[in-house]
Structure 1
Amino acid sequence: MDISPLPSGTLYVVATPIGNLRDITLRALDVLASVDVIAAEDTRTTANLLAHHSIGGIRTMALHRHNEHALGQRIVELLARGQSVALVTDAGTPAISDPGAMLIAFARSRGHRVVPVPGANAAVCALSASGIIASRFIFYGFLPAGSAMRRRELELLKPQPYTLVFHEAPHRILECVADLSELLGAQRQLVIARELTKLFETFHRCRLDEASAWLQADSNRCRGEFVLLVEGAAPAVPDEIGEQARKTLSRLLEHLPLRQAVALATEITGESRKRLYALALVLKRSGPKAKDSG
Structure 2
Amino acid sequence: MSIDRSVLSSTTSFYVVATPLGNLRDIGMRALDILAAVDVVAAEDTRHSQRLLDAYNIRTRLVAVHEHNEQAAAESVLRMLEDGRHVALITDAGTPGISDPGARIVARVRAAGHPVVPVPGPCAAIAALSVSGFVEPGFHFAGFLPPKSAARRVALEALAAQTVPLVFYESPHRIDASLADIAATLGGEREILIARELTKVFEQVVRLPLAQASSWLAEDANRARGEFVLVVSPPPPREGLSPASEKVLQLLLEELPLKSAVKLAARITGDSKNALYARALELNG
Q: Which TM bucket (shorter chain)?
A: 0.7 to 0.9
Q: Per-residue deviation at 1:66?
A: 0.7
Indicate which of 35, 38, 51 corresponds to 1:35.
Answer: 38
Q: Per-residue deviation at 1:198?
A: 1.0
Q: Which runs of 4+ in 1 moved over 6 A?
A: 276-279
Q: Distance in 1 between the 2:277 and 2:138 partners?
A: 18
Alignment of 1:128-277 (within 5 A): 128-239=130-241, 274-275=274-275
Question: Aligned AA for 1:153?
Answer: A
- 2:247 is matched with which residue? none
Q: Distance in 1 between the 2:135 and 2:277 partners?
A: 18
Q: Does the C-alpha gap of structure 1 residues 170 and 239 become closer, same or farther in structure 2, counting only changes over 3 Å?
A: closer
Residue 23 (1) aligns with residue 36 (2): no
Any idea what SS the aligned residue of 2:122 has? Answer: coil
Q: Distance in 2 between the 1:276 and 1:101 partners?
A: 39
Indicate which of 10, 32, 37 corresponds to 2:13.
Answer: 10
Tell me which moved more, 231-240 or 189-198. Answer: 231-240
**Preserved contact between residue 241 and residue 275 of structure 2 (Cα < 8 Å):** no
Q: Which runs of 5+ in 1 are unaligned?
A: 241-272, 280-294
Q: Per-residue deviation at 1:238?
A: 2.2
- 2:114 is matched with which residue? 112
Q: Which runs of 5+ in 2 are unaligned?
A: 243-272, 280-285
Question: Aligned AA for 2:30?
Answer: R
- 2:268 is matched with which residue? none
Q: Deviations over 1:208-265 (max 9, x none)?
A: 111111111011111111100101123432259xxxxxxxxxxxxxxxxxxxxxxxxx
Any idea what SS the aligned residue of 1:132 has? Answer: coil
**Preserved contact between residue 188 and residue 211 of structure 2 (Cα < 8 Å):** yes
Q: Deviations over 1:191-216 (max 9, x none)?
A: 11111111111111111111111111
Q: Distance in 1 between the 2:211 and 2:237 partners?
A: 21
Q: Per-residue deviation at 1:142?
A: 0.6
**Preserved contact between residue 192 and residue 230 of structure 2 (Cα < 8 Å):** yes
Identity of counterpart residues, as a percentage?
52
Q: Per-residue deviation at 1:277?
A: 10
Q: Deviations over 1:76-103 (max 9, x none)?
A: 0110111000000000000000011111
Indicate which of 63, 67, 70 corresponds to 1:61.
Answer: 63
Question: Aligned AA for 1:275?
Answer: A
Any idea what SS the aligned residue of 1:73 has? Answer: helix
**Preserved contact between residue 166 and residue 233 of structure 2 (Cα < 8 Å):** yes
Q: Distance in 2 between the 1:87 and 1:185 partners?
A: 39
Q: Per-residue deviation at 1:276?
A: 10
Across the two proteins, how many residue pairs are aligned to each other?
Answer: 246
Question: Aligned AA for 2:4?
Answer: I
Q: Does the C-alpha gap of structure 1 residues 30 and 278 become closer, same or farther in structure 2, counting only changes over 3 Å?
A: farther
Q: Per-residue deviation at 1:2?
A: 6.1
Q: Does the C-alpha gap of structure 1 residues 277 and 23 become closer, same or farther in structure 2, counting only changes over 3 Å?
A: farther
- 2:103 is matched with which residue? 101
Q: Distance in 2 between the 1:124 and 1:278 partners?
A: 35
Any idea what SS the aligned residue of 1:141 has? Answer: strand
Normalised to the residue count of structure 2, the TM-score between the two structures is 0.82
**Preserved contact between residue 235 and residue 278 of structure 1 (Cα < 8 Å):** no
Q: Does the C-alpha gap of structure 1 residues 170 and 71 become closer, same or farther in structure 2, counting only changes over 3 Å?
A: same
Q: Distance in 2 between the 1:114 and 1:239 partners?
A: 47
**Preserved contact between residue 190 and residue 236 of structure 2 (Cα < 8 Å):** no
